[in-house]
Structure 1
Amino acid sequence: MSLLPPFAPRGLLRNASLQSFLASWKFRNRLRGDHPMQQAAVSQLLDCGDGVRLTGVHSPQPAGRRPRALAILFHGWEGSDRSAYLYSLACSLFDAGYSVFRLNLRDHADTHHLNEEMFHSARMDEVYGAMRSALALDEAERHVAIGFSLGGNFALRVGLRAPDDLLPAMTVGVCPAINPRATMQAIDDASPLFRRYFMSKWQDSLQSKARAWPQRYDFSDITQIRSFMDITERFVIDYTEFETLSAYFDDYDLRTELRNTPRSPLTIVTAQDDPVIPFEDFAGIGEASGVRLIAPPHGGHCGFIDDWRLRSWIDTCVLALLDKALD
């Protein structure tokens, strides 16, 4: 723990809602200016097997400079490669000598037209396929996986379940949704503004899918539902292979697995005041099981903004974790 600087925000930055808002505030990307990470970025269309195509953005280190590793980054639900929290970390990793691949999950980043079947949180095979394609693009000899929120769950599943050839040298989940039922309920119980934000994002995504595949989808009935839990249950039963909401949640509930010894180094960073990831979900997870849990009192959901220059403590934290794991 001595290698990690403490996260000690002051004043208004101790507010969880403000931290959560700043996490995704697009203005943060502008503060990076014309960053070398973005200058090196190449958009990629990935063959993920079984006809599935996903997109991502690859930022390799300059020619002649051996990358420390390829960092594969996973955005949160309804995020993208341009999400501010992800973009900030990508810039910091690139500056530290890492190649970066920012993966877009199915039906994210305006890719609803690429695959007819819909995104859901149990689609791991295509993530493994995307990782294989991404690894083939880069000269790095090893890779790490880092994800935020739902992307944190995806990253942790990679660290826990991936085939041996895809197992990361280090996995970090930031505010990961390890108990999907509790996260869904927390969104329903959150402030009306928070709940409307998430509901609006999902309804916009559903409409984009319907426009891309008009002969297949009509969501006019379920978009009238106002409970996040209820709309998810209807979606699961009507549009996934799962027969019940419980079966769907069980597929990516990680609480039991995280209490066992992982196959590779794995760290969770979460805030105790996260409004949508209940801190009690992490009870019993820690050093005894080989999983490192770092949980500052403040930080909101994927925020961890240090100061009014909008610098992120998560960037510093992840770099320190990787330094220790890789060196």
Structure 2
Amino acid sequence: MTLPRGADFNPPWPLTSGHIQTMLSSSGVRRQLLPRAAQAVREGAEETMVDGGDGVRLTGAYTAQKTLPQARGLAVLFHGWEGSVDSTYVLQTGSRLLAEGWDVFRLNFRDHGDSHPLNEALFHSCRIDEVVHALGDIARRWPSRKLVLAGFSLGGNFALRAALRAPEAGVPLDYALAVCPIVDPGEGLFSLEESAPWFYRAYFLRKWRRSLRAKQAAFPHRQYFELDELKQNLRGLTESLVLRHTDFGSLQAYLDGYSVAGAALERMQIPATILTARDDPVIPVDAFEKLQLPPCVELDIAPHGGHCGFIRGMDMTSFTDEYIAARFNALAD
């Protein structure tokens, strides 16, 4: 069986632009143009809460497949930063996997979706322990023939770190796939501040500030931030919250804490794939080319696709759905 490769993605103009791919990936226009089938994973979904350990509660949605007599397995999906289980790319991928005979679990990270009131402490990107614990809880509650994981952007970073820790944590994970994961957070943050067009910074800051205000409203007795801090740029606000709410002594120590750059993935035991695009304007491709990977980890750099885009045409469907489904199916079959 020949699996699709990133080089197989050849979109028509103007979708050859990484910026257009990136802007369309999470746009309201895309959600409106997508076929109805791209939302099928929401039909009959069971909204639930999972155990993140130490009293942490995370929310998610489980949907059982009805295509095959027996499910191929359980596919867990991780959204990106300030996304949710209802992000367009999560719904589209989940719906494709459902049609292929996979049960699907979509997990919200802490303080994502509408989960701000559940845990008093703020989300940050080094909270991998609770995500791995939640993955173990999901595996116990919905045992399956195969357990596979896919994540996008920051969710791709979490997916790789979860796969790295899964054997030691006793999580029966069989395979992980990361789409445009954050590799070197320090380089990525610098890229957003210094190199990427201003509207990317504006997009992420607007969503993050809204999330922080929702957190403050959920716990009015806590002071999560000073109002002046919300006016800072991405780097400044990140540093303020790191120093105020974590044990990391510096911004760089925090960024290093969730980096998967260099040799960080050399100890990976679980088969994994990293798909990214050379024209991604958010995550520089250089970090991927410097990765030191074991034989079980496949790195696939497509010429086009932007940041978590890979949109094929005017129907707004994504090449990543086919890519992920093909690799998951090959594992199950």
TM-score where L is the length of structure 2: 0.92
Alignment of 1:40 with 2:44, yes or no, is yes
Paired position in structure 2 for 1:210? 216
Match among 60, 69, 72 for residue 68 of structure 1 = 72
For 2:75 and 2:311, locate their aligned partners in 1 and report how far apart those are by CA, in whole Å: 21
Match among 172, 176, 179 for residue 174 of structure 1 = 179
Match among 114, 118, 122 for residue 122 of structure 2 = 118
The one-letter amino acid paired with 1:165 is G
Give the secondary-structure state (helix, strand or coil) at the position aligned to 2:176.
strand
Paired position in structure 2 for 1:236? 242
The one-letter amino acid paired with 1:149 is S
Equivalences for 1:218-257 in 2 at 5 Å? Answer: 218-219=224-225, 220-225=227-232, 227-257=233-263
Give the secondary-structure state (helix, strand or coil) at the position aligned to 2:327.
helix
Q: Contact 2:268/2:294 (CA < 8 Å) preserved in 1? A: no
For 1:36 and 1:200, locate their aligned partners in 2 and report how far apart those are by CA, in whole Å: 29
Paired position in structure 1 for 2:136? 132
Aligned length: 326
For 1:14 and 1:124, locate their aligned partners in 2 and report how far apart those are by CA, in whole Å: 35
Alignment CA distance shift 1:241-1:258 (3 Å): closer
State the identity %: 39
Q: Contact 2:132/2:165 (CA < 8 Å) preserved in 1? A: no
| 1:294 Cα deviation after fit | 1.0
The one-letter amino acid paired with 1:176 is P
For 1:297 and 1:181, locate their aligned partners in 2 and report how far apart those are by CA, in whole Å: 24
| 1:47 Cα deviation after fit | 2.5
Paired position in structure 2 for 1:79? 83
Structure 2 unaligned segments of length 5 or more: list them: none
| 1:288 Cα deviation after fit | 6.0
| 1:37 Cα deviation after fit | 2.3
Match among 159, 166, 189 for residue 163 of structure 2 = 159
Match among 302, 312, 331 for residue 325 of structure 1 = 331
Alignment CA distance shift 1:217-1:287 (3 Å): closer
Give a deviation string over 1:184-241, Cα, whole Å, max 9, x none: 111112211111111111111111111111111252131021x211211111011112
For 1:167 and 1:229, locate their aligned partners in 2 and report how far apart those are by CA, in whole Å: 37
Paired position in structure 2 for 1:4? 4
| 1:273 Cα deviation after fit | 0.7
Match among 37, 52, 56 for residue 52 of structure 1 = 56
TM-score where L is the length of structure 1: 0.93
Structure 1 window deviating more from structure 2 (35-44 vs 205-214): it is: 35-44
| 1:165 Cα deviation after fit | 2.4
Alignment CA distance shift 1:139-1:64 (3 Å): farther
Match among 171, 186, 189 for residue 184 of structure 1 = 189
Match among 244, 261, 271 for residue 265 of structure 1 = 271
Alignment of 1:274 with 2:268, yes or no, is no
Q: Contact 1:23/1:303 (CA < 8 Å) preserved in 2? A: yes
Paired position in structure 2 for 1:146? 150
| 1:283 Cα deviation after fit | 1.6
Alignment CA distance shift 1:65-1:150 (3 Å): same
| 1:24 Cα deviation after fit | 1.1
The one-letter amino acid paired with 2:161 is R
Alignment CA distance shift 1:315-1:63 (3 Å): closer
For 1:19 and 1:295, locate their aligned partners in 2 and report how far apart those are by CA, in whole Å: 15
Paired position in structure 2 for 1:21? 23
The one-letter amino acid paired with 1:198 is F
Q: Contact 1:174/1:268 (CA < 8 Å) preserved in 2? A: yes
| 1:245 Cα deviation after fit | 1.1
| 1:27 Cα deviation after fit | 4.8
Paired position in structure 1 for 2:110? 106
Match among 94, 105, 119 for residue 90 of structure 1 = 94
CA RMSD of aligned residues (A): 2.0
For 2:328 and 2:263, locate their aligned partners in 1 and report how far apart those are by CA, in whole Å: 22
Structure 1 window deviating more from structure 2 (131-140 vs 13-22): it is: 131-140
Give the secondary-structure state (helix, strand or coil) at the position aligned to 2:186.
helix
Alignment CA distance shift 1:62-1:274 (3 Å): same
For 1:27 and 1:96, locate their aligned partners in 2 and report how far apart those are by CA, in whole Å: 26
